[in-house]
Chains A and B, each alone.
Chain A
Amino acid sequence: MTRIGDRIRDSIASVGPARTLHDLTLRAANRVVLIKLLKCMSIERVNDAFATCPKPYRALFLSAPMLQKFGRDPGNEMPEAFLDEALSKRDECFALLSGDRLAAYGWYSSGPTRIDPPDLVLHPGGRHIYMYKGFTHVDHRGRRLHAIGMTLALQSYLTRGFKGLVSYVESNNFASLKSVTRMGYEIFGTIAVLKAFGVPFTRASAGCRERGLRVAPAY
């Protein structure tokens, strides 16, 4: 009990009482049914603060053989099954390389993409690209590589005629919400996901519906 009390006290100190209550409510509800509130966000303008890539990193979209090569290293967190699924959907991986080593990457999809829970897929809608699975290798953390990679990928997609990137963060993942806001993402709506007795239900807010962003069952 004391440990829980300490954690609540720490949470109130770091994110405030309202957010702590929100987090506790969601955690309690998830003991009964799966419930998630997905904060949906987009970025449509390049943030110049992240548009410069520090040396010696080079940024590029990785090809299938390059991905398979990097996937063989478990430290890169790209298992074969994940790669097979992503490549079959023609998703793209934009990465920062340090020499021939993988430093950071993010995946980008213009089509429906499986989320958590895996029986649901996110449809990015319109001319947006869904950004998912951001990763920075442990040797290269603390250099804002995720934000830089995402910004450079955004530049490329904008020149290809896309409107921007969309992504989501769970409403009680306060650290990530803060981080994406700093990168320049703007939250435009929420999608509520409820899964009870194995049946998923979703409801998108007006902002999400306007942009065509939705979450639907995978089948």
Chain B
Amino acid sequence: MEERRHTSSHYEMELQEIKDGLIYLGALTEKAIQTAMQSLTERNSDLAHRVIKDDDEIDKLDSELEERCIRILALRQPTAIDLRFITTAIKITGHLERIGDMAVNIAEKAIQLNEEPQLKSYIDLPRMANIVGEMIKNSLDALIRNDLELAEKVRQTEQIVDDFNEQIFRELLTFMMENSKSIHRALLIMQVSKNLERIADHAKGIADMVTYMVTGECVRHQTCTLNEKEKA
């Protein structure tokens, strides 16, 4: 009996470590996005270089977490919500790793933009980045707390980011039409915006996974929900 309790508490700890690892990874990516954006707004390329360098840590942590998950699958044979949590965690690390890569993309664009005169002051982009960071944070919060409402909130926020992206696109379009010399810079800014928008997509993906984990229902694709309805 003593032994069994010990193992199960050890198992609990392993699960907790994975949870902590996911949040840590999430915090790292959040920070990467923030630093990349800071490098853009403060026109400081050193920060961008740091983001590119720090991405190695994100990649390392990603594979490490994945390995841990697989080990738990093999050794503990989790069931029900634990099983869904582990499989979800494996997918989420993938999402987070991609987010890290996008932060690197933004940092690279920032370096290029910092070499040229500023086209316009960045107002919407930092706002967008803040919202995106909040989305990542909330999606991971939802994961840890099994919070469906929060996951739903993340899904809804994604629309706001899309709107921002479109607004920035229209704004840049006017710049490009006025002055053809600004096209290069405008396109770079456009790519930053696009990357942020894709990060938001990934955050939404995490939120979807959370919903799946808690309810066992798939909300990722329209077809999924259709299938569910047919079943019912």
Same complex origin of A and B: no
Chain B residues near A (Cβ < 8 Å): none
